[in-house]
């Protein structure tokens, strides 16, 4: 479901400030993820401005396409290849060599004993060669987006890690399953519940595992917050408020995939706001019965010619708890979550940093 798109079809893209309210008596976890344009999550706040491997594709209705980009700024490649891994180590093909992959994800493989980088996929051959040499990846394990399907015959690859813009997740997950590989994918899984279902069915047909790299379910402070809620320390929950905001710099859909609807979806909710949405679900332990949302798309701002700038959401849960969630690409930085109960208050600030 793409609420912003339905609004635009009625009033045009110049300005969207619209309220959408739904009663959801039989909402499943999968459906609520589809409702907000997919689920999962991973990028840290700094990743929100990271250069993507994939360039925007132009018009919002143009099918997204993966292409190579230059080496991002601020990348420090290893001075020597990583140490040898255990025999049972899982070999990953990194799909997309953008800033987040090179600065945040790939360096962490050295910390794990049972996972290693065995292949690379990129549209920039020169950059890929430099990265391959630094990480000890064989040149014949370097694939372009055009030759991606050839990974099927490469036994060095057990799984792929998809680190591409949102609009390409479903395509490359399905292609990886068709090649017989397991999939680890950045959040969100896809941009609609229909795409998510396609990916799930592709995994089932291939008998391979699918995982969304949503780190908050494994981090100590989030686990502690869940424990506090399970123990009833705060009493009955009355209200949850979350803010995920930052100001996007000057850009346009042709320059930044996050401003491009085909690659990003409708706006900040799919990227940064999903942290607040997920926290409301795992802190209450419930699924909402009603959801109301407002979105704003400024006029005459090239950053938001295709996407909305701000989304505000209110959810009510069967227990009576209310969650107010806000996420924006055009508001001063905030990464905060607060829970009020009738016996106490929980504050997480930063909530997901």
Under 8 Å CB-to-CB from 276, ≥6 apart: which residues?
242, 243, 244, 325, 326, 327, 337, 351
Given a contact cutoff of 8 angstroms between Cβ atoms, the answer to whether 116 and 86 are in contact is no
Active site residue 187: yes
The active-site residue out of 85, 127, 181, 187 is: 187
135 in Cβ contact with 83 (< 8 Å): no
- List the one residue out of 217, 183, 186 whose CA is nearest residue 98: 186
Burial of 67 (0-12, 13-18, 19+ CB in 10 A): middle
Catalytic site residue from 145, 214, 246, 275: 275
Residue linked to tokens 């799930």: 200
What is the tally of helices (H) and strands (E) in the chain?
10, 13
Cβ(5)–Cβ(37) below 8 Å: no
Active-site annotation holds for 143: no
Residue 343 CB contacts under 8 Å (≥ 6 apart), including other chains: 233, 234, 235, 236
238 CB burial (10 A radius; 0-12, 13-18, 19+): middle
Q: How far apart are CA 303 and CA 321, in angstroms?
A: 35
Give me the active site residues, please: 187, 275
């Amino acid at each position: 479901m793409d609420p912003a798109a339905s609004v635009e079809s009625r009033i045009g893209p110049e300005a969207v400030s619209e309220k959408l309210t739904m009663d959801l008596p039989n909402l499943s976890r999968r459906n609520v993820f589809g409702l907000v344009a997919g689920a999962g999550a991973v990028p840290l706040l700094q990743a929100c401005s990271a250069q993507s491997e994939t360039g925007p594709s132009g018009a919002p209705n143009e099918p997204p396409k993966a292409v190579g980009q230059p080496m991002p700024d601020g990348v420090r490649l290893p001075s020597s290849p990583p140490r040898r891994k255990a025999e049972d180590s899982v070999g990953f093909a990194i799909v997309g060599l953008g800033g987040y992959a090179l600065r945040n994800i790939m360096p962490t493989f050295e910390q794990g004993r049972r996972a290693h980088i065995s292949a690379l996929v990129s549209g920039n051959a020169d950059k890929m060669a430099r990265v391959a040499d630094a990480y000890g990846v064989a040149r014949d394990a370097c694939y372009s987006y055009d030759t991606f399907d050839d990974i099927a015959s490469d036994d060095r690859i057990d799984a792929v890690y998809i680190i591409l813009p949102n609009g390409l997740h479903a395509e490359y997950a399905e292609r990886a399953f068709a090649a017989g590989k397991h999939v680890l994918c950045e959040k969100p899984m896809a941009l609609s519940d229909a795409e998510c279902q396609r990916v799930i069915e592709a995994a089932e047909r291939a008998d391979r595992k699918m995982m969304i790299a949503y780190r908050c379910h494994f981090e100590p402070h989030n686990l502690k917050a869940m424990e506090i809620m399970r123990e009833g320390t705060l009493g009955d929950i009355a209200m949850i408020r979350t803010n995920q905001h930052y100001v996007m710099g000057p850009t346009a859909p042709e320059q930044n995939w996050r401003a491009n609807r085909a690659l990003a979806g409708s706006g900040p909710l799919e990227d940064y706001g999903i942290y607040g949405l997920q926290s409301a679900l795992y802190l209450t332990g419930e699924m909402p019965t009603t959801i109301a949302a407002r979105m704003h798309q400024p006029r005459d701002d090239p950053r938001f010619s295709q996407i909305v700038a701000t989304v505000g959401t209110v959810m009510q849960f069967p227990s009576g708890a209310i969650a107010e969630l806000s996420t924006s690409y055009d508001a001063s930085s905030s990464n905060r979550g607060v829970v009020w109960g009738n016996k106490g208050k929980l504050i997480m600030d930063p909530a997901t940093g």
